[in-house]
Amino acid sequence: MSKSTLARLLAREFAVIGWGVKIADMDISQGTSFNWASRRLQNHIHPEIPVQQYGSVSKALAEAESLDLLVFDGAPHSTAGTKEIAKSSDMVVIPT
């Protein structure tokens, strides 16, 4: 519990201080962070947090260079992609 909540919190707090932030929503069946961003836009909540759904980690990482912070919101189950995310990340948070 709390993975998506923490992903959104981190992204929001860094965006507010001016960082170029994006959330990569890797849980495409649920789209928790993606739907959250949609609700924020509908309600004109600032700052806007870009959230994109990705089917592959490499695709998301390809855009990381242009950002100050890329937050991965992972799926509940571990996959080969989960390991790929961990290897390329500066910080991994596993709420328990």
Ligand X SMILES: Nc1ncnc2c1ncn2[C@@H]1O[C@H](COP(=O)(O)OP(=O)(O)OP(=O)(O)O)[C@@H](O)[C@H]1O
Binding site for ligand X (CB under 6 A): 1-5, 27, 30, 32, 76
Residue placing its CB nearer to ligand X in the complex, 42 or 96: 96
Q: Minimum Å distance from CB 87 to ligand X?
A: 21
Q: Is the peptide bond before 95 cis (omega within 30 degrees of 0)?
A: no
Q: How far apart are CA 61 and CA 40, in angstroms?
A: 25
Return the one option of Mg ion, ligand X, none that residue 1 interacts with (CB less than 5 to 8 A, by type). Answer: ligand X
Residue placing its CB nearer to ligand X in the complex, 77 or 87: 77
Q: Which of residues 37-66 bind Mg ion (CB under 5 A)?
A: none
Q: Pick from 6, 10, 14, 32 the residue near Mg ion by CB under 5 A.
A: 32
Q: Is 94 left (phi over 0), alpha (psi -120 to 50) or beta?
A: beta
Q: Minimum Å distance from CB 65 to Mg ion?
A: 26
Q: What tokens appear for 7 in the block?
A: 């992903």
Q: How many CB atoms lie within 10 A of CB 37?
A: 20
